[in-house]
Homo-oligomer: A and B are copies of this chain.
Amino acid sequence: MISIQQLSQEVAIGTDTLRIWERRYGFPVPQRDSRGHRRYSDQQVEELRIVKMLQSLGYRPNKIFALDAAGRKTLLDKELDQNQPENTALLQLAKQLSPHEIDRDLRGRLEKLGPTNFVFQVAVPLIKTLDRGWSDGTISIAREHLVSDRLEQLLKEQLADPEPSATTPQLLFLTLNGEWHKIGLLLAAVLFRSAGLGCLLIHEELPLSEVPQLALDLDVAAVALSFSSHYPTRQAKKDLALLRNKLDPKIRLIAGGQAVQDGVALQNLIICSELEQIPAISSKLLSELRAQTG
């Protein structure tokens, strides 16, 4: 039995939102403690996780809450299962291997495939496998975090790696204030890195106002930002316009994530709504930058 705030942190839904859902849709209706404070059960946590995933798949609350718990579960299973061909080796990795074995396995695959193929053929499917496994109850949260932590660590090492060469153009990857959209940005950085661009990733959030100065100090060729689906479109547009304005025109600006899928057109801005576009974008960018310098 947990408080509304604990619940809010676990499922990443604001307390105001939780209360108004209860008022409007009748879910989740918690028990009350002696003071009249809300107390949520483990089961409600689980059901809310399903709601959250459906939401991130594009369903809106009125659709979601029109269904009952079983209906939501069914719908989510359907959504996750449609891209079926499950890689059994990855499934085993996700479910059973020990941390060291996971490390060894992933490193082996990375070496064999190279970073780009690793991202598309291992990292992305693995993340999907984890989601699916969590959804059908075959993978615990702890296990999911364990595996994704190993993956994250491995990918970060790829960025640090060698090549402090002075001639390679450097890109700066940032998480803006209010974002926690870590893994997508990391995958993007690895892809750019494997195209031959130097990538510097700052995972902790920082204020927009400091970005231009930082970009200048680090002498980077481009700044990349990722906006999650929760980021208000209007705000994303405003942020990007402001940043584009403050930033040296020679520094490219790259925006990714669901919040900028369309509409956000801006002079001198590279939009990148899908990971799949990155190989093309990065090679083009690299040749442009090379031409510029040389």
Q: How many copies does the complex hold?
A: 2
Please give the distance in Å from A93's CB to the nearest CB on chain B. Answer: 14
Are A206 and B9 touching (Cβ within 8 A)?
no
Tell me how many residues of A have a C-beta within 8 Å of chain B: 40
Chain A contact residues: over half helix, strand or loop, or mixed?
helix
From 165 to 217 in chain A, residues with beta carbon under 8 angstroms from any chain B beta carbon are: 177-178, 200-207, 209-211, 213-214, 217
Are A204 and B148 touching (Cβ within 8 A)?
yes
Are B210 and A142 touching (Cβ within 8 A)?
yes
Q: Residue of B at shortest CB range from A101? A: B164
Chain B residues near A37 (CB-CB < 8 A): none
Are B103 and A214 touching (Cβ within 8 A)?
no
Chain B residues near A210 (CB-CB < 8 A): 140-142
Query: Given A149-B203, A202-B149, are A6 and B178 also a contact pair (CB < 8 Å)?
Result: yes
Q: Which of these binds chain B: A25-33, A116-124, A152-160? A: A152-160
Q: Residue of B at shortest CB range from A100? A: B164
| Given A142-B214, A149-B203, A153-B156, 6 further pairs, Cβ under 8 A | A42-B209, A140-B210, A146-B214, A149-B201, A149-B204, A153-B160
